Amino acid sequence: MTTIVRFAPSPTGRIHIGNARTAILNWLMALKSGGQFVLRYDDTDTARSTQEFADGIATDIDWLGIRPARVEWQSKRFERYDEVAERLRGEGRLYPCYETADELDRKRKRQEARKLPPVYDRAALKLTDEERAKLETEGRKPHWRFKLDGHVVEWNDMVRGPQHIDTSSLSDPVLVREDGSYLYTLPSVIDDIDFGITHVIRGEDHVVNTAVQIEITEALGAKPPTYAHHSLLIGADGKGLSKRLGSLSIGSMREGGLEPMAVVSHAALLGTSDNIHPCADYAELVEGFDLDKLSRAPARFDEAELVHLNAKLLHHLPWDAVKDRSAGDSEAFWLAVRGNIEKLSDADVWRNVVGGAIAPVVAPEDAEFIAAARTLLPPEPWDATTWKTWTEAVKAATGRKGKPLFMPLRLALTGLDHGPELAQLLPLIGRETAVVRLS
């Protein structure tokens, strides 16, 4: 049986790092098993769903290196949902309820005051045909609840292990609103059945939904998929990420100059028994992928750690991996500067050092030393040995060595007290520019 997984975002906003983690885990599952990844837009909320957000999600998914085998839209399947809903009505599993939101709220408060669980009392099932007709004559429109079996639903979760929920402790879920629109639950179950979804990998905030969805799936005569509920992300401060999701959107990370595989590596390895390390492509992640490695404890996401991981990834990227994004650069330049950047855009600093207008820094006490060093510059062509040849000559002529020798030369040549090895940088700067900066 082919493994088929799905990622089901709502196009009511852009996806953030938490959503991306779910998408990446599903993609790794598909790659590991040779299966398929379905991108399903849960856009039944037609008032809030937009094409702009859907396009943005598609861009983000593509940037993360995820290639869906198929793309589906729930908004194109309402006839199918209507067909199944009518079947459930005919079987007595979907029943009409007429309570208003205020009436339901008062019921819940009365139950809580009596120390009872706030579970719907199924009062609507006791209504006669005449009572229902009277309510509708008054202008009330029903919402529709699924009648749960009220037994213990069990499943073996691929992350959490054996799970069980007694659905008699739950309210019969509302599947269809008063206006006829669908809540998440029923379309999701129908799609999972129709698209042959074999594994549902999602956040642990859906655990309770799983018992309900299993009952609906079985009521429709289908076999439930295998479920895996991963832990949710928290911030470095131990708090939820919900207040900062704007800055943690995948779009903002892309625009901020992060590498896609840094984001992927961090999201895939966060909360697992593996050390977080940069992976240049999916191959290494697929090889080590196993849902058993996911911890049930909340995974701690730290933006600073992601930036550090991004730097580590860049420090080892070969020229071929960046040359298409580094117009005008050379392999020698990339190999010289890659160990001194956190983001690819940081290379701009070193482009300016190599060929731009900088302000050389020469302390008054070093002026005579710098003048002597200028006269000792060797003729071109220059290569990786030029720095050593030159500094040995300067050392012999001035008696300076160590930091008192090297730092004044770095400051005069680059205007900075840190940076790439000058053995690599000096040939890129060139003799003509070096003479000007040392003057």
> Tell me, what's the pLDDT at 240?
75
User: CA 420 from chain center: how many Å?
Assistant: 32
DSSP 165: E
Out of 130-134, 238-242, 244-248, least confident range: 244-248
> Tell me, what's the pLDDT at 328?
74
Average pLDDT on 315-326 reads 93
Averaged pLDDT score across all residues of the chain? 95
The residue type found at 12 is: T
> Tell me, what's the pLDDT at 247?
64
Q: What is the pLDDT of residues 5-46, one digit of tens each?
A: 999 999 999 999 999 999 999 999 999 999 999 999 999 998
Sign of the dihedral through C-alpha 87, 184, 116, 160: positive
Q: What is the pLDDT of residues 120-138, one digit of tens each?
A: 999 999 999 999 999 999 9
Q: Which residues of 10-32 are buried (b: 16+ CB within 10 A; e: fewer)?
A: bbebbbbbbbbbbbbbbbbbbbb
> Tell me, what's the pLDDT at 245?
56
DSSP 323: G
Average pLDDT on 360-373 reads 96
Average pLDDT on 160-176 reads 97
The residue type found at 205 is: D
| Residue that the structure tokens 């002597």 belong to | 372
CB atoms inside a 10 Å sphere around CB 394? 24
Alpha-carbon distance of 428 to 344, in angstroms, equals 19
pLDDT at 244 over 60: no
Q: Cβ(173)–Cβ(120) under 8 Å?
A: no
pLDDT at 269 over 70: yes
pLDDT at 216 over 80: yes
User: CA 399 from chain center: how many Å?
Assistant: 56
pLDDT at 219 over 90: yes
Average pLDDT on 313-338 reads 92
pLDDT at 243 over 60: no
Alpha-carbon distance of 64 to 250, in angstroms, equals 9
Q: Cβ(210)–Cβ(29) under 8 Å?
A: no
Alpha-carbon distance of 114 to 108, in angstroms, equals 10
Phi, psi at 69, each rounded to 5°: -75, -25
Phi, psi at 416, each rounded to 5°: -130, 155
Out of 153-157, 185-189, 326-330, 395-399, least confident range: 326-330
Starting at the edge strand that comes first in sequence, how are the strands of the sheet with 36-41 ordered?
A: 4-7, 36-41, 70-73
Number of continuous H segments (helices) and E segments (strands) in the chain:
18, 12
Q: What is the pLDDT of residues 78-119, one digit of tens each?
A: 999 999 999 999 999 999 999 999 999 999 999 999 988 899
| Residue that the structure tokens 């800055």 belong to | 247
Average pLDDT on 219-239 reads 93
pLDDT at 435 over 80: yes
> Tell me, what's the pLDDT at 319?
95
> Tell me, what's the pLDDT at 84?
98
Alpha-carbon distance of 25 to 30, in angstroms, equals 9
Cβ-in-10-Å burial (0-12, 13-18, 19+) of 203 comes to middle
| Residue that the structure tokens 């039944």 belong to | 44
pLDDT at 211 over 80: yes
Count Cα neighbours of 170 within 13 Å in the Cβ-side half-sphere: 24
Average pLDDT on 220-235 reads 96
pLDDT at 226 over 90: yes
DSSP 237: T
